């Protein structure tokens, strides 16, 4: 996605909101929410259809994949029958959609007679882990990025600005796995400050969990800070040229007060959009970091499932990922609207 | 320092007991690691001791794994669901012999058509219930029958009847098979408790092995606890397996001390790992082999001279050094590893010889030869590189090989057994009959060379029920020679299992039947 994607999206809402405001019956926030949720459901449906067809098109299937070299026609047939793969694709899809609408994601193909593995049971602990890592990273990265962005805008073109810019750009330019290995080499292998494995399970106490997640969270922080920081800086600097800021400055208000009280409130929309984009990335795009640190997150689960063509699990993961994007963008738009009086109170 | 040297000399001359040596070394301020190192160099056997939590990192394992032994795909399920938590009727020792495990003894009838296994007395499942012959019958039946999708289905195809007789289990085979006890050592055949209806309870993980499963998280790992009632000594208190698919992460986990053992070291960086004084690298040449297979029914491979030309056109030493960095043993177009009973190294040795290739091509009436070779790293890791090197060496001998890189996903499905000349891999089998029946018998489902040699198949049946060891050896020698001279297999290398462990743990000789110390690492290792 384009680095500046937040900006055009913010503008689009502005226009939409204003246009509706003129016809004006419904509150713009409510309208956005309903509209987005409707579109979201449609998106989810399309996503499920696309994913299902793509996996169908791949060569091989779950039974053959699991049995590997041991797949003889009889064993494959027995296996396919057991997991229902012997039915035609469209029937399997319709059945699956029907169940999902009722909240049942079905059972993984890895289930056996007397050993049911519900997709929801597989996904729940993994999703919790992923959300934990994402929240931990967000708690560090978002305040850090915004703080650095504001400071960089405040002291723009100073050595501080240059250093912050070049350091964050360096960290974002490095591939995640490389960053992960570098951190692991120095902080885990050489200095032995943090564990190199982030293997946690349901019984891991909170502090232990935070300690084990330190390196993955740090890696992800370094990867996402630049984007948010630069957007904050750019959005603020953009506004500093506007007449009302000049007015404020002419009144003799201090530089930091101008930025915090006058520029920042109007800069929230693009910043929040970039934050939302990065948070979504933390949920859906961290599979490499998960693999390097052996963190049992949902990305790993989905890759596993794609490799073995465990369709129910792939489908459920894809839906969760799509829903994450939709919801986070929705929240970003709500914040954009509520921080912009022109959108909040349309005439 | 003088005293220390004296002490070492005493150790090398075996003039001092292990315990005395350790005590005096400690008194001299020598580190335990150094002292035990000297002891093992001096040839002292390690004395196992109890206690501790042993953690290993395995490069296998997926979220689709289950404890159903019928579909055990690899090391992860093998180590957790068999080696650590369960037992088969028999097991392999480090010399390649089959020895009793849950069976106390086993006896064939004269023609090796009936095998009687006597169950070890007083062995219990983890829940305390005593193992009976009915449990064994149910455990075996789990893999048999038309609906079975078990990997062990083919090796049990020769079993006509299995029944419990008091403490004995009687197997009646379709034909004589002197090697049947080897089959019973397979990791797909753990003994599990029978249900009322004759099916078997694999779901609970309740088994007989040295450790009981506390938790099993497919694709993540497993935690196990020592079984206090196990019939043999077990050293560790706890055993944990972590699935670490990424080899760099696995190596880091070992060097930072989070795990004590890792399998499948990265050969490219192994020399750097060797420099680490706290680690030990193990290399075991197993039965597994990396091969190129030709469909002997299809032109041009239907001509034995063409097949032999290709066998002489590959530079196995170069591939071993460049692709596998020396970790392996070059093959000689015999699928039987040197450590297996009755193995021979057939003459003439097939090594790179361009002149011989041209001579054989001329004999086949060809000036040059162009063939397609399908490869993928799904066949074995390094297959693409091996194919490329094969192309180079063959080109110098007048054979033009088109190396086609196939998709990993569907390799076993759409390429292997379908295309005429492909890269492949066999895990190997502990006995010749098993390997031959699986892959070289005329009617075998996985006869990937489509080789149908009447004399070979005649010998295969005859050797199976032959109980005279000399006669068997002669028959197997002839079969290996036939395969070497006429078969469609180019055996590149017998691969090595390369693993590394912290010197905090100790072990005896490693088993070569499977990786991870024959998958029985949990009960065979201890803290030094």
pLDDT digits (tens, 9 = 90+) for B74-131: 788 999 999 999 999 999 988 888 999 999 999 998 788 999 999 999 899 999 999 9
Q: What is the per-residue pLDDT for A284?
A: 86
Nearest CA in chain B to A192: B256
Residue B93 belongs to domain with CATH number:
3.90.76.10
Please check whether residues B512 and B396 belong to one and the same domain.
no
Beta strands in chain A (DSSP E): none
Please check whether residues B319 and B338 belong to one and the same domain.
yes
Instruction: Give the pair of three-digit tokens for residue B394.
Output: 């063959």
Please write the tens of the pLDDT for every residue from A276-292: 999 999 998 888 899 88
Mean pLDDT of A264-268: 85
Please check whether residues B306 and B169 belong to one and the same domain.
no
Does pLDDT of B485 surpass 90? yes
Q: What is the per-residue pLDDT for A159?
A: 94
Q: Measured between CB atoms, does A128 come within 8 Å of chain B?
A: no
Q: Measured between CB atoms, does A54 come within 8 Å of chain B?
A: no
Please check whether residues B351 and B392 belong to one and the same domain.
yes
Look at the block and give the residue holding tokens 């990993």: B408
Nearest CA in chain A to B71: A67
CB contact under 8 A, B253 and A291: no
Mean pLDDT of B384-402: 94
Q: What is the per-residue pLDDT for B363?
A: 92
CB contact under 8 A, A307 and B253: no
CA-to-CA dists, residue B311 to B182, B288, B304, B338, angstroms: 31, 19, 10, 19
Q: Is B251 a domain residue? A: yes
Residue B519 belongs to domain with CATH number:
3.40.190.10
Q: What is the per-residue pLDDT for A18?
A: 43
Please check whether residues B245 and B290 belong to one and the same domain.
no
Name the pLDDT band for B320 (thresholds 50, 70, 90). very high
Which of A198-202, A317-321, B204-208, B292-296 is least confident? A198-202
Q: Which residues of A touch B215 (CB under 8 A)?
A: 201
The answer to whether the peptide bond before residue B348 is cis (omega within 30 degrees of 0) is yes
- Asked if B158 and B144 touch (Cβ cutoff 8 Å), the reply is no
Q: What is the per-residue pLDDT for A16?
A: 42
Does pLDDT of A7 surpass 60? no
Instruction: Give the pair of three-digit tokens for residue A319.
Output: 């839906």
Q: What is the per-residue pLDDT for A107?
A: 86
Does pLDDT of B426 surpass 70? yes
Does pLDDT of A17 surpass 60? no
Mean pLDDT of B506-528: 91
Does pLDDT of B452 surpass 90? yes
Three-class secondary structure assignment of B454-515:
HHHHHHHHHHHHCCCHHHHHHHHHHHHHHHHHHCCEEEEEEEEEEEEEECCEEECCCCCCCH
User: Which residues span the domain enclosing B21?
Assistant: 3-41
Q: What is the per-residue pLDDT for A68?
A: 62
Q: Could you tell me which residues come within 8 angstroms of residue B399 by beta carbon, excluding any fewer than 6 positions away?
A: B309, B310, B313, B357, B361, B368, B369, B370, B371
Q: Is B193 a domain residue? A: no
Does pLDDT of A265 surpass 60? yes
Name the pLDDT band for B1 (thresholds 50, 70, 90). low
Does pLDDT of B278 surpass 70? yes
Does pLDDT of B393 surpass 90? yes
- Give dist(CA B274, CA B279) in Å, integer: 7
Q: Is B489 a domain residue? A: yes
Please write the tens of the pLDDT for every residue from A31-67: 878 888 898 889 889 988 998 888 888 766 777 777 6
Residue B396 belongs to domain with CATH number:
3.10.105.10
User: Which of residues B336 and B71 earns the better pLDDT score?
Assistant: B336
Please check whether residues B262 and B149 belong to one and the same domain.
no
CB contact under 8 A, A68 and B412: yes
Look at the block and give the residue holding tokens 């099916």: B199
- Give dist(CA B173, CA B171) in Å, integer: 6
Q: What is the per-residue pLDDT for B43?
A: 67
Q: Measured between CB atoms, does A46 come within 8 Å of chain B?
A: no
Mean pLDDT of B11-21: 75
CB contact under 8 A, B253 and A196: yes
Please check whether residues B221 and B136 belong to one and the same domain.
no
CB contact under 8 A, A115 and B68: yes
- Give dist(CA B317, CA B386) in Å, integer: 11
Name the pLDDT band for B247 (thresholds 50, 70, 90). confident
Question: Closest to B217 (Cβ–Cβ): which among A189, A201, A304?
Answer: A201
Instruction: Give the pair of three-digit tokens for residue B433.
Output: 């009959």
What proportion of chain A, given as a percentage, has pLDDT over 90?
Answer: 30
Q: What is the per-residue pLDDT for A311?
A: 85
Please check whether residues B488 and B362 belong to one and the same domain.
yes
- Give dist(CA A117, CA A124) in Å, integer: 12
Which of A83-87, A260-264, A324-328, B266-270 is least confident? A83-87
Look at the block and give the residue holding tokens 């009727």: B89
Mean pLDDT of B364-385: 90
Please check whether residues B350 and B424 belong to one and the same domain.
yes
Q: What is the per-residue pLDDT for A20?
A: 45
Q: Is B77 a domain residue? A: no
Per the DSSP assignment, residues forming a β-bridge with B115 are B108, B171
DSSP run (H or E) holding B115: strand B114-119
Does pLDDT of A15 surpass 80? no
Please write the tens of the pLDDT for every residue from A131-180: 999 999 999 999 999 999 999 998 889 999 999 999 999 998 988 899 99
Q: Is B60 a domain residue? A: no
CATH of domain A119-344: 1.10.3720.10
Q: Is B69 a domain residue? A: no
Q: Is B47 a domain residue? A: no
What proportion of chain B, given as a percentage, has pLDDT over 70?
Answer: 99
Structural domain spans, chain A: 119-344
Does pLDDT of A11 surpass 50? no
Q: Which residues of B touch A291 (CB under 8 A)?
A: 245-246, 249
Q: What is the mean pLDDT of chain B?
A: 89
Q: What is the per-residue pLDDT for B44?
A: 66
CB contact under 8 A, A305 and B414: no
CB contact under 8 A, B246 and A70: no
CB contact under 8 A, A313 and B63: yes
Q: What is the pTM of this model?
A: 0.82
Nearest CA in chain A to B217: A201
Q: What is the per-residue pLDDT for A5?
A: 39
Please check whether residues B490 and B514 belong to one and the same domain.
no
Q: Is B344 a domain residue? A: yes
Instruction: Give the pair of three-digit tokens for residue B88.
Output: 């088969």
How open is the CA angle A111-A116-A119, to the nearest 5 degrees? 80
- Give dist(CA A345, CA A338) in Å, integer: 9
Q: Measured between CB atoms, does A72 come within 8 Å of chain B?
A: yes
Does pLDDT of B39 surpass 80? no
Please write the tens of the pLDDT for every residue from B127-151: 999 999 999 999 999 998 777 778 7
User: Which of residues B312 and A79 earns the better pLDDT score?
Assistant: B312
Please check whether residues B356 and B480 belong to one and the same domain.
yes
Name the pLDDT band for A14 (thresholds 50, 70, 90). very low
CB contact under 8 A, A310 and B413: no
Overall domain count for chain B: 4
Does pLDDT of B40 surpass 60? yes
- Asked if A53 and A314 touch (Cβ cutoff 8 Å), the reply is no
Q: What is the per-residue pLDDT for B37?
A: 77
Q: What is the per-residue pLDDT for A8?
A: 41
Q: Measured between CB atoms, does A172 come within 8 Å of chain B?
A: no
- Give dist(CA A142, CA A232) in Å, integer: 11
Please check whether residues B490 and B444 belong to one and the same domain.
yes
CA-to-CA dists, residue B216 to B186, B212, B219, B220, angstroms: 22, 11, 9, 8
Q: Which residues of B touch A65 (CB under 8 A)?
A: 409
């Amino acid at each position: 996605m384009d680095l500046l994607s937040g900006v055009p999206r913010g503008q689009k809402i502005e226009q939409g909101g204003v246009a509706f405001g003129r016809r004006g019956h419904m509150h713009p926030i409510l309208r956005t929410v309903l509209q987005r949720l409707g579109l979201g459901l449609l998106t989810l449906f399309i996503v499920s259809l696309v994913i299902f067809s793509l996996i169908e098109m791949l060569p091989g299937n779950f039974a053959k994949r699991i049995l590997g070299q041991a797949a003889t026609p009889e064993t494959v047939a027995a296996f396919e029958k057991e997991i229902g793969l012997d039915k035609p694709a469209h029937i399997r899809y319709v059945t699956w959609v029907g169940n999902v609408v009722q909240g049942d994601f079905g059972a993984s193909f890895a289930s056996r007679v007397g050993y049911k593995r519900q997709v929801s049971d597989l996904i729940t602990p993994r999703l919790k882990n992923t959300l934990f890592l994402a929240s931990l990273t967000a708690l560090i990265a978002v305040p850090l990025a915004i703080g650095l962005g504001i400071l960089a805008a405040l002291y723009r073109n100073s050595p501080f600005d240059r250093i912050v810019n070049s350091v964050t750009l360096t960290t974002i330019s490095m591939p995640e796995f490389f960053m992960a290995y570098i951190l692991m080499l120095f902080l885990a292998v050489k200095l032995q400050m943090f564990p190199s494995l982030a293997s946690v399970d349901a019984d891991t106490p909170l502090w232990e969990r935070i300690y084990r997640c330190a390196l993955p969270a740090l890696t992800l922080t370094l990867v996402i800070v630049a984007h948010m920081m630069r957007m904050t800086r750019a959005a603020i600097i953009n506004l500093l040229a506007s007449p009302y800021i000049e007015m404020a400055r002419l009144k003799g208000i201090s530089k930091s007060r101008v930025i915090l009280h006058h520029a920042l409130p109007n800069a929230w929309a693009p910043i929040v959009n970039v934050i939302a984009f990065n948070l979504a990335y933390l949920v859906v795009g961290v599979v490499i970091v998960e693999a390097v640190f052996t963190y049992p997150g949902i990305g790993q689960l989905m890759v596993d499932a794609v490799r073995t063509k465990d369709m129910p699990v792939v489908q459920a993961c894809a839906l969760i990922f799509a829903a994450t994007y939709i919801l986070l963008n929705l929240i970003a738009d709500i914040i954009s609207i509520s921080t912009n009086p022109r959108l909040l109170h349309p005439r | 320092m003088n005293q220390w040297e004296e002490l070492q000399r005493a150790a090398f001359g075996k003039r001092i007991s292990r315990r005395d040596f350790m005590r005096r070394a400690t008194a001299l301020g020598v580190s335990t690691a150094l002292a035990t190192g000297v002891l093992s160099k001096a040839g002292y056997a390690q004395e196992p001791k109890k206690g501790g939590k042993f953690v290993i990192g395995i490069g296998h394992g997926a979220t689709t794994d289950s404890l159903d032994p019928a579909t055990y795909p690899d090391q992860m399920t093998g180590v957790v669901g068999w080696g650590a938590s369960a037992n088969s009727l028999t097991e392999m020792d480090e010399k390649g012999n089959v020895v009793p495990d849950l069976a106390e003894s086993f006896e064939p009838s004269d023609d090796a058509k009936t095998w009687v296994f006597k169950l070890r007395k007083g062995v219990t499942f983890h829940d305390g219930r005593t193992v009976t012959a009915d449990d064994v019958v149910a455990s075996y039946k789990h893999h048999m029958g038309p609906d079975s999708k078990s990997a062990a289905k083919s090796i049990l195809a020769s079993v006509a009847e299995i029944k419990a007789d008091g403490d004995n289990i009687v197997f009646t085979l379709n034909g004589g098979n002197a090697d049947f006890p080897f089959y019973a050592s397979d990791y797909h055949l753990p003994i599990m408790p029978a249900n009322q209806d004759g099916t078997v309870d694999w779901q609970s993980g309740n088994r007989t092995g040295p450790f009981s499963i506390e938790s099993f998280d497919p694709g993540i790992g497993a935690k196990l606890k020592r079984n206090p009632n196990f019939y043999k000594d077990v050293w560790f208190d706890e055993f944990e397996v972590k699935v670490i698919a990424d080899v760099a992460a696995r190596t880091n986990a070992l060097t930072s001390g989070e795990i004590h053992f890792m399998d499948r070291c990265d050969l490219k960086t192994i020399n750097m790992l060797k420099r680490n004084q706290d680690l030990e690298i193990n290399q075991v040449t197993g039965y597994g082999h990396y091969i190129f297979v030709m469909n002997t029914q299809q032109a041009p491979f239907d001509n034995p001279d063409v097949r032999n030309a290709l066998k002489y056109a590959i530079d196995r030493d170069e591939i071993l050094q460049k692709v596998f960095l020396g970790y392996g043993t070059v093959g000689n177009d015999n699928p039987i590893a040197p450590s297996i009973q009755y193995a021979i190294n057939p003459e003439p040795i097939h090594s790179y010889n361009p002149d011989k290739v041209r001579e054989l091509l001329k004999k086949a009436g060809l000036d040059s030869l162009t063939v397609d070779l399908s490869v993928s790293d799904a066949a074995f890791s390094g297959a693409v590189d091996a194919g490329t090197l094969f192309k180079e060496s063959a080109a110098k001998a007048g054979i033009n090989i088109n190396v086609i890189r196939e998709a990993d996903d569907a390799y076993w499905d759409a390429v292997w057994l379908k295309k005429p000349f492909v890269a492949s891999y066999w895990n190997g089998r502990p006995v010749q009959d098993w390997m031959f029946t699986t892959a070289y018998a005329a009617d075998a489902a996985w006869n990937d060379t489509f080789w149908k040699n009447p004399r070979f198949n005649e010998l295969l049946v005859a050797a199976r029920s032959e109980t005279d060891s000399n006669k068997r050896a002669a028959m197997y020698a002839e079969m290996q020679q036939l395969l070497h001279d006429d078969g469609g297999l180019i055996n590149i290398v017998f691969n090595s299992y390369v693993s590394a462990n912290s010197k905090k743990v100790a072990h005896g000789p490693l088993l070569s039947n499977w990786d991870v110390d024959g998958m029985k690492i949990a009960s065979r290792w201890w803290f030094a």
